[in-house]
Structure 1
Amino acid sequence: MITGKTKVVGVIGDPVEHSLSPVMHNAAFEYYGLDYVYVPFHVKKENLKDAIKGSKALNIKGLNVTIPHKRNVIKYLDWIDDAAKLIGAINTIKFEDDGIKGFNTDGKGAVMALKEVTEIKNKKILILGAGGAARAVAFQLALEGAKNICILNRTVEKAEELAKDINKKTGVKTNSGSLELIEKEIKDTDILIDATPVGMYPNVNQEPLVKAEMMHENLIVNDLVYNPIKTTLLKEAEKAGAKTISGVEMLVYQGAEAFKIWTGMEAPIDVMRQSVLKELK
């Protein structure tokens, strides 16, 4: 029941109809009996500044920020956390009396998902893609003590730029190149992360960038695509006997971090995960 006391949080993006965050967060609020509601707001680029000002004026407690606003929104905030400074993008806002605060929980979400199955410290990590998700995850992995990060991308310049940035800002050895180098680089890789949209709904039968015969059984394979739950890449990884992590995990853990920022409480991870899985099935 929504009343005058109900606290409002939400997500802003363009488009926003596909977002699973409302389902996930409302399930968490319901589980704890919290008087909160999570709403999607469709905000176009030209209305971003007004949306942030309006949210504060309407006493909205917090927002998730998705494509295309993650970078542009920073100029309307009063403070951003260290991870967001390094990444140059935010995905979570908290409206407080002393200002509007920005956080990036994307990288943290990916790392928490990985930590369920492996340590990050001293590992060699291969990341495919060099967009926003790849950037958030790569910086967080560097902060967590990865030994070596390799970024391969279709547009080599983007991979080079990201690798240089990580090297400079964190000191972690980061190299880059084209997707042709996958077979060479994967041989001694501990963790493979696909941060490209390959295999994402509706292109569920798209050929994956890495086939089973390129993988080894000690590899951990994490696809950041969460729809479908089991992508063509994860199916190949299973064939190779590698450990797999679905993109659902990063989605859930980044959401759990946002939940904690807004409420000060630990999120009910299982409840959030089940609500997402139910929606995807």
Structure 2
Amino acid sequence: MQIDANTMKTGLLGHPVGHSKSPEMLNAAYRREGLPFVYLAFDVAPGDLESAVTGLRVLGFKGWNVTIPHKVAIMDHLDDIEESARAIGAVNTVISEGGRLIGTNTDGAGYLRSLVSETGMDPVGQRVVLLGAGGAARAVGYALARAGVERITVANRTESRAEALASHLGRWTKTSGIGLSRVEDAIREASLLIQTTSVGMHPDSSACPVDPGCLHGELLVSDLVYHPRETRLLKEAHRRGARVHGGMGMLVHQGALAFQRWTGQTPPVATMWDALEESLKETES
């Protein structure tokens, strides 16, 4: 990749960002398509977010992704927020259009594309248990609610946060919010379990967010963690005859949607997937 004065700049704002695989994935996509773009990751402390946004604006960045802990706070520093991001309550992608910074959210749509393309599941009529009530849960819950699931039960360690997210999603489907002490009964009645927290992520890959005994063969278990690629939750689900869905696809498809908005071109999804997989193999070796 040749970088010169005409190179278009994109990137990632987060804190921390050292673990991110997005630079490998997006730069591989740019190379594959022969585009004069580069993707860089920037570690920005919460107190420096406004200055960082101003800097990227002045430097002429074409756009950037946003990750923890900035997905909500960045909304105060943009010129406009697209309706889907407003409904989710978080921004994960910024596009610069004519000097204006537009916030959108590709997490939910990226997750839905991954789920359908990798498992063939039709969201309509599914009974969903959503573990967690953070930004990822908001995006995934919104996408599934709009796609026609029958109901969503949000389960979180802090029950009031689960209830708040359930109330928010309740404008699109039936919902309830519960504490983790009641999650096992909900899982036994569910058809789709989605794990949106960091439990089971490297290096604590032996952790499991629920008692494996409540998993069953009529369930599809989806874990947004992608490092390791097969979490303990997925291993336990597989042992009990459940179908499983890992987190790599969501990362690829949300990045592909951002690529499309920044470049105006069809993203090379297979190339992005291969780059992510190769990067994870190097990390795990």
Superposition TM-score tier, normalisation by shorter sequence: over 0.9
The one-letter code matched in structure 2 to 1:201 is H
Cα deviation, 1:243-262, whole Å, max 9, x if unaligned, reads 11111111111111111111
The whole-number CA distance in structure 2 between the counterparts of 1:55 and 1:98 is 11
Aligned twin of 2:157: 154
Aligned twin of 1:269: 269
**Post-superposition shift, 1:210?**
3.9
Aligned twin of 1:112: 113
Change in Cα spacing, 1:173 to 1:31, as seen in structure 2 (3 Å) is same
**Post-superposition shift, 1:183?**
2.2
Cα deviation, 1:128-173, whole Å, max 9, x if unaligned, reads 1111111111111111111100011111111011101111xx3311
The one-letter code matched in structure 1 to 2:144 is L
Residues matched between the structures, number: 278
Cα deviation, 1:167-219, whole Å, max 9, x if unaligned, reads 1xx331101111122221122311110112111111011234141x4222231
The whole-number CA distance in structure 2 between the counterparts of 1:207 and 1:260 is 35
Unaligned stretches of 5+ residues in structure 2: none
Aligned twin of 1:79: 80
Cα deviation, 1:78-99, whole Å, max 9, x if unaligned, reads 1111221011110100111151
**Post-superposition shift, 1:273?**
1.1
The one-letter code matched in structure 2 to 1:237 is A
Aligned twin of 2:3: 2
RMSD value, Cα? 1.2
Change in Cα spacing, 1:153 to 1:76, as seen in structure 2 (3 Å) is same
The 5 Å alignment of 1:94-133 reads 94-97=95-98, 99-116=100-117, 117=119, 118-133=121-136
- Asked if the contact 1:208/1:232 (under 8 Å) is kept, the reply is no
The one-letter code matched in structure 1 to 2:128 is I
The 5 Å alignment of 1:3-152 reads 3-97=4-98, 99-116=100-117, 117=119, 118-152=121-155
SS in 2 for 1:108: helix
- Asked if the contact 1:83/1:140 (under 8 Å) is kept, the reply is no
- Asked if the contact 1:14/1:43 (under 8 Å) is kept, the reply is yes
SS in 2 for 1:266: coil
The whole-number CA distance in structure 1 between the counterparts of 2:80 and 2:166 is 26
TM-score (norm 2): 0.94
Deviates more, 1:83-92 or 1:184-193: 184-193
Deviates more, 1:37-46 or 1:225-234: 37-46
The one-letter code matched in structure 1 to 2:135 is G
The whole-number CA distance in structure 1 between the counterparts of 2:7 and 2:172 is 45
Cα deviation, 1:218-259, whole Å, max 9, x if unaligned, reads 311110111100000000111112111111111111111111
Deviates more, 1:177-186 or 1:191-200: 177-186
- Asked if the contact 1:8/1:38 (under 8 Å) is kept, the reply is yes
The runs of at least 4 consecutive aligned structure 1 residues that moved more than 4 Å come to none
Aligned twin of 1:214: 214
The whole-number CA distance in structure 1 between the counterparts of 2:172 and 2:106 is 22
The one-letter code matched in structure 2 to 1:165 is H
The whole-number CA distance in structure 1 between the counterparts of 2:133 and 2:55 is 33
The one-letter code matched in structure 2 to 1:158 is R
Aligned twin of 2:248: 248
The whole-number CA distance in structure 2 between the counterparts of 1:210 and 1:25 is 37
- Asked if the contact 1:8/1:62 (under 8 Å) is kept, the reply is yes
**Post-superposition shift, 1:63?**
0.5
- Asked if the contact 2:146/2:172 (under 8 Å) is kept, the reply is no
SS in 2 for 1:205: coil
- Asked if the contact 1:199/1:205 (under 8 Å) is kept, the reply is yes
Identity %: 42
SS in 2 for 1:193: strand
Unaligned stretches of 5+ residues in structure 1: none
The one-letter code matched in structure 1 to 2:160 is E
The whole-number CA distance in structure 1 between the counterparts of 2:226 and 2:123 is 22
- Asked if the contact 2:108/2:142 (under 8 Å) is kept, the reply is yes
